[in-house]
Amino acid sequence: MFQTRFNNKKIILLTLCLDNPRFCVFLTGWLILPTCSLHQYYFIKEPLTWNEAQTYCRQKYTDLATMENADDLNQLQRLLSSSGHNYEVWFGLYSKINWKWSDGFTGSGAEYRDWGTNEPHFQMDHFCVYKYTTWSSYNCDSELKFSCYTGKDIKNKIIYCNLK
């Protein structure tokens, strides 16, 4: 529950999706929220291939890390920095023909990228992506530490606001 004041009226909102709404519209007691991400990232120190890392993340968490905007990227970077890790980590972007997310995410932000200079490499075996300072494509059979996430996206919601 979230309480605030609008036009000197107390507004009570009942929703889980208030972390960082991109916009809100008030329509006589109704609030419209966009899709918002509730991702929690985890850093796994055991080096695995991209496919092994994906399997591990799906068994223990939700999937390899998915990032749909700079806020997600910054959240992951803070996690890595706080763990003292400043090296390459696998996350959930891969390609067979087009770049896509391991968890199947195709919503708003699915096209977000932070490629480094001259990336991605379109070499025969560079179909997975790691993050260092920016993103790079790399051989999926290489063993790297990796990042998983838990959570889900909450789709657009229309929520009734009790005005008191």
Task: Please indicate, yes or no, whether the overall pTM of this predicted structure exceeds 0.75.
Answer: no
- Identify the pLDDT of residue 29: 52
Same domain (yes/no): 71, 115:
yes
pLDDT at 13: 41
- Asked if residue 75 and residue 61 are part of one domain, the reply reads yes
Picking from 22, 65, 17, the residue whose alpha carbon sits closest to that of residue 41 is 65
Task: Tell whether 17 and 43 lie within a shared domain.
Answer: no
Q: Which domain holds residue 97?
A: 39-150
How does strand 40-48 pair with strand 144-150?
antiparallel
Return averaged pLDDT per consecutive 10 residues of the chain, 164 residues in all: 47 41 47 60 95 97 93 91 89 93 91 94 86 94 96 53 50
Contacts 24+ apart (CB under 8 A), 81-88: 83/43, 83/45, 85/43, 85/45, 85/145, 87/132, 87/144, 87/145, 88/130, 88/131, 88/132, 88/136, 88/138, 88/144, 88/145
